[in-house]
Amino acid sequence: MGSRFSGKVVLVTGASRGLGAATALAFADEGADVAITYVSSADKALALVAQMEAKGVRARAFHCDHGDSAAAAPLMDAVVAHFGKLDVLVNNAALGVAGKTLDDPEIDNAAVDRMWAVNVTGTVSNIRAAAKHLPDGGRIVNIGSSVSARLPFPGITDYGATKHAIHGYTRGAARDLGFRNITVNTVCAGIMPTEQSGMTPDTIPPALLEALCIRRMATCEEVAAAILWVASPEASYTTGSIIDVTGGSLA
Ligand SMILES: NC(=O)c1ccc[n+]([C@@H]2O[C@H](COP(=O)([O-])OP(=O)(O)OC[C@H]3O[C@@H](n4cnc5c(N)ncnc54)[C@H](OP(=O)(O)O)[C@@H]3O)[C@@H](O)[C@H]2O)c1
């Protein structure tokens, strides 16, 4: 165990599985007390809490639907009531509704609308609610994607646009909160073997790998490492930026 985040309280949203779970574990490995949220996977969230507590840190799972913007303020209040403060917010929870062009008659518009609510409104609400709790020098980390800057193929218009929106909000929030030395950054994740991607190193289509400089999937741990760096004291002068952990897809 390291101690880079000893004494810090970190909230990672959507951390019952995938990148969120890997990030929560990485913070706990560095001594942070960690709050996580989940919406449906209570068993996985509680198992992760037990795994983090076994490392000697405090941990707690909060049920929260980030598709409901009214849930953000009570969540931040509950985290601070339990842990005493909040130092780092990682907005990881997101849905990845994709695969159909916007004019496809079979597109599920309700699912697309919910994705906007979780990915964009949820993130914005969390930032607004957390801002009043974060101390001088606090950290906000948003999660982007290789489609945060370009949309290289059809069928990802809405998902990609939600990530573009996060890009823009990151810059504005960095301006608004910079006078308090709170940094706001987006870490763009590459394609990882999670439930959202539905891919593994064995099943990822070769055409997707050909778009990368490093021709393999990312691991959740590689992306988590960048999240921890930008949340650390070493990154105190990095804000409003997009950190590319996509294997060079944006190169
Ligand atoms: N996977 C990739 O290849 C990839 C690539 C680029 C960027 N990303 C981004 O990386 C982040 C993590 O993705 P992932 O692949 O780890 O996703 P994932 O495996 O689908 O996990 C999503 C997590 O978010 C939670 N969640 C979903 N909707 C929620 C809601 N309404 N309220 C609260 N929690 C909610 C889920 O909780 P439950 O288990 O309770 O449902 C789960 O813990 C996302 O921002 C995603 O867009 C992923």
Question: Is the entire prediction scored with pTM above 0.95?
Answer: yes
| H or E segment and range at residue 186 | strand 183-189
Closest ligand 1 atom to residue 217 Cα is: 3
What pLDDT does 150 receive? Answer: 87
User: What domains are defined for the chain?
Assistant: 9-245 (3.40.50.720)
Strands (E), 51-113: 59-63, 88-91
For ligand 1, say whether the CB of 39 is within 6 Å of any of its atoms: yes
What pLDDT does 250 receive? Answer: 85
Q: How remote is the CA of residue 173 from the centroid of ligand 1, in Å?
A: 22
Q: What b/e readout covers 57-92, taking b as 16+ CB neighbours within 10 angstroms?
A: bbbbbbebbbbebebbbebbeebbeebeebbbbbbb
Give, in order, the Cα–Cα distances in Å from 137 to each of 111, 177, 206, 239: 37, 10, 42, 11
What pLDDT does 122 receive? Answer: 98
Closest ligand 1 atom to residue 39 Cα is: 40
Q: How remote is the CA of residue 196 from the centroid of ligand 1, in Å?
A: 6
Q: Please check whether residue 14 is in contact with residue 37, taking contact to mean a CB–CB distance below 8 angstroms.
A: yes
**Best substitution site from 196, 209, 249 to test ligand 1's pocket, by max atoms within 8 Å of Cβ?**
196
What pLDDT does 192 receive? Answer: 98
Nearest Cα residue to atom 7 of ligand 1: 145
The two most distant CA atoms of the chain are separated, in Å, by 53
Catalytic amino acids? 159
What pLDDT does 91 receive? Answer: 99
Closest ligand 1 atom to residue 191 Cα is: 3
For ligand 1, say whether the CB of 118 is within 6 Å of any of its atoms: yes
Q: How remote is the CA of residue 162 from the centroid of ligand 1, in Å?
A: 13
Closest ligand 1 atom to residue 143 Cα is: 45
pLDDT in 10s for each residue of the chain, 251 residues: 899 999 999 999 999 999 999 999 999 999 999 999 999 999 999 999 999 999 999 999 999 999 999 999 999 999 999 999 999 999 999 999 999 999 999 999 999 999 999 999 999 999 999 999 999 999 999 999 999 888 989 999 999 999 999 999 999 999 999 999 999 999 999 999 999 999 999 999 999 999 999 999 999 999 999 999 999 999 999 999 999 999 999 88
